[in-house]
């Protein structure tokens, strides 16, 4: 069965890149540009993984991750956090919010796909 990935990213170019790369990798992808719609989209799409931008315009990606992890239907869905702001302590803070994976932008395709496949496989094995 094709694995589903929700991409929450408000930057059009980044969202398109993530979605194109994931589709080329054989995943079904649901793009979401508006962080306020992310939880609703996740409930409708039932993703196997959420790729979450941390610096969204309208809502904090950290808050969205925490909300996902408190939702009974979505709590087990792994989150790969991506952020352009990779300062000291950021990865720890992001992982504490509930993200299972973390990448700083600019994201290289190889490490991105390795992280995606690793988290999807890990969730499937659980």
The residue among 125 and 44 whose pLDDT is bigger is 44
In the chain, the percentage of residues whose pLDDT exceeds 90 is 87
CATH number at residue 11: 3.40.50.2300
- Rounded to two decimals, the pTM is 0.96
Flag whether 36 is in a domain: yes
Flag whether 126 is in a domain: no
Among residues 80, 73, 64, the alpha carbon closest in space to that of 116 is found at 80
Q: List the structure tokens of 78.
A: 């792994």
- By residue range, what is the domain housing residue 105? 4-121
The 10s digit of each residue's pLDDT in 39-79 is 999 999 999 999 999 999 989 999 999 999 999 999 999 99
DSSP secondary structure string, 5-47? EEEE--SHHHHHHHHHHHHHTT-EEEEE--GGGHHHHHHHH--
The 10s digit of each residue's pLDDT in 8-36 is 999 999 999 999 999 999 999 999 999 99
Tally the domains of the chain. Answer: 1
User: What strands, in cross-sheet order, belong to the sheet with 79-83?
Assistant: 28-32, 4-8, 49-53, 79-83, 101-104
């Amino acid at each position: 069965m094709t694995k589903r990935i929700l991409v929450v990213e408000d930057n059009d170019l980044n969202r398109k890149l993530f979605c194109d790369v994931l589709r080329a990798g054989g995943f079904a992808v649901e793009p979401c540009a508006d962080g306020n719609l992310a939880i609703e989209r996740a409930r409708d799409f039932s993703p196997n993984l959420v790729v979450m931008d941390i610096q969204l315009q309208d809502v904090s990606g950290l808050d969205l991750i925490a909300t996902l992890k408190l939702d009974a239907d979505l709590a087990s869905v792994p989150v790969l956090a991506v952020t352009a702001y990779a300062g000291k302590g950021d990865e720890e803070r992001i992982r504490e919010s509930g993200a299972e994976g973390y990448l700083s932008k600019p994201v290289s395709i190889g490490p991105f796909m390795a992280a995606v496949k690793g988290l999807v496989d890990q969730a499937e094995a659980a």
